[in-house]
Chain A
Amino acid sequence: MIEIKNIEKSFGDTKVLKGISAVFETGKTNLIIGQSGSGKTVMIKSLLGIHTPEVGTISFDGRIYSKMTPDEKRTLRTEIGMVFQGSALFDSMTVEENVGFPLKMFTSKRNREIRDRVNEVLQRVNLEGSNKKFPAEISGGMQKRVAIARAIVNNPKYLFCDEPNSGLDPETSIVIDELIHEITKEYDITTVINTHDMNSVLQIGENIIFLKNGKKEWEGDKEEILETRNKSIIEFVYSSDLFKKVRENLLAEEEEEDNK
């Protein structure tokens, strides 16, 4: 479980996060949603320690980040997996070198053990037979799978994904969402996902926080988000014409029923 209390983060004069508190539960896919520029990436990078919030605390299963010693922070890092928005695979390494990288850097495993573990996770993300390819030689969806494999290779307790399906077609997006969801359950990981994609929200939104103008505007799950009367949520959820029409129809039906 990750618990954040009242975190604030500014860049120069602009405050991006204005006092956010939230709890991300273990074994669940926790979603941070909001429009582009609402601070989702800054939020996740604050959790990762890439950005340091000026105010507030972040605790990982009770361990408060700002009070950890450098050694404890190093240990924490090995418990974290991260899938970046653009996958962030190392261009100069093959698929298997990318996935094996955290093991090679931080464990004393032998090359053979590393190779076995790499093959195991590549199999888990349904990506076999591309071991020797370079990231530039595979599709965006495959790159995402490699990024997920790299993030989970060292059995993380915490998994962060920044817009895991940006740049993917709707079908592949769903496959990736489901994959992250299954892995979260299977290994009982605390997973935090940034997204602005309503498909993902409805697919895997077990615990959702909605950011607007640097504040937490709403919180709930995928059932609740469709029923809420919160105006900003409605605007966000029904921003596409398709959803607008669906909502109009639903409301019309409701009215008919009320009139009966």
Chain B
Amino acid sequence: MIKALNQIGRYFLMIGEVFYKPVKWKVMKTLIFKEIDDLIIGSMGIVAFISFFIGGVVAIQTALNLTNPLIPKSLIAFATRQSVILEFAPTFISIIMAGRAGSYITSSIGTMRVTEQIDALEVMGVNAVNYLIFPKIIAFSLYPFVIAIAMFLGILGGMVAGVYGGFIGQAEFLQGIQTDFIPYHIFYAFFKTFIFGFILATIPSFHGFYMKGGALEVGKASTTSFVWTSVVIILLNYIITQLLLS
């Protein structure tokens, strides 16, 4: 318990240090572009694939459970839109990202730790926390764009599955996704996406930066980092939903 509090304390100290004594902009700029490429663009494929098919499955599930003929078919579209925008895109995709981008962050920073590359930076007088973690935080500020694409593809997947599966007509689907649209839900979804992006950049970095040991421990640190990132995302999801929607 004391150890956990200690860890949490160190995490916040690290966050403070990220913004302290930054490296030259000329150097930072290149680092940011590289992280955007690795973490954001590099994750688009898997995110697109998962969103599309999850959206499809949600539509089919809703259609199959809709046995009452009094309920309009457009509910399939409505349900798909709501679940994709509110949960599947922001939360589910973030858990996938904790595995995809998170393990990559922990193992790359962890490897730098065990091979003394971080010591090398610090000896030169580089603020290693800023150098390594700040560009990742900035790259993840583009994360809402990833989720916006995930939302679009999820709903598209729902429409394709619904229409080609013969559950609903295309016109009815398009009308369904426009019913009872609440802009506040979009704010809620992107607000939590933004928070999750920060978590995805910082918790895996923390686990890599403060790891000890050798190559074997790098693997272990990646696993621990995935577990903690997911747990924190799920808990924050609960708290944010409680605060913003109820």
Instruction: List A residues at the B interface (Cβ < 8 Å).
Output: 45, 48-50, 74, 77-78, 80, 82, 84-86, 88-91, 101-102, 104-106
Contact = CB atoms under 8 A, between A and B. Distances in A.
10 contacts: A50-B122, A88-B115, A88-B117, A91-B111, A91-B115, A91-B117, A104-B24, A104-B27, A105-B23, A105-B125
Interface of B: 23-24, 26-27, 111-112, 115-117, 119-120, 122-126
A18 B123 CA distance: 24
A88 B126 CA distance: 15
B104 to A, nearest CB: 13
B125 A78 contact: yes
A162 B115 CA distance: 13
Contacts of A105: 23-24, 27, 124-126
Contact of B125 (A45, A86, A106): A106
A90 B31 CA distance: 13
User: Which 9 pairs from chain A and chain B are nearest by CB?
Assistant: A77-B125, A88-B116, A88-B120, A84-B116, A82-B123, A88-B117, A48-B123, A74-B125, A102-B124
Contacts of A74: 125
A221 B120 CA distance: 30
Contact of A50 (B111, B112, B119): B119
A104 B26 CA distance: 9
Q: Give the residue among B27, B115, B119, B124 with the most A Cβ atoms within 10 A.
A: B124
A121 to B, nearest CB: 15
Contact of A86 (B23, B116, B123): B116
Contacts of A102: 124
A90 B117 contact: yes
A77 B24 contact: no
Contacts of B115: 86, 88, 91
B123 A80 contact: yes
A50 B123 contact: yes
A11 to B, nearest CB: 11
A84 B113 CA distance: 13
